[in-house]
Structure 1
């Protein structure tokens, strides 16, 4: 695909927002009542860090980026 720079930028921003949403949900699901919030934040951050490259890799493989 031959997309303009602006469209590619919007796609990357959408990937970042999707990864942030996945990280928030993962952190929320891993939090236990009475547990430390720091552990849930680490899980969420790790999930964000794993989801973002995966999304970008898939879009690059499809030829979008």
Structure 2
């Protein structure tokens, strides 16, 4: 696919926003009121990084990026 630069940036932004939502949900699922917040934040950050990497790899393999 030969997409313009604006469309590619839009796809990257969409991937980042979806990954942010996944990271927030993962952090909320990990957090319990009796424990500190730091492990939940680290878990959410790891989920964000993993999902963003996976999303960008899939888009690259499909030829979109």
Which bracket does the TM-score occupy, shorter chain normalised? Answer: over 0.9
Unaligned runs of 5+ in 1: none
What is the RMSD of the two structures over their aligned residues, measured on CA atoms? 0.6
Deviations 1:3-52 (A, max 9, x none): 10000000000001111110000000000121111111000001111111
Provide runs of 4+ in structure 1 moved above 6 Å: none
Q: Aligned residue pairs: how many?
A: 65
Partner residue, 1:15? 15
Give the corresponding residue for 1:29: 29
**TM-score, length-normalised on structure 1?**
0.96
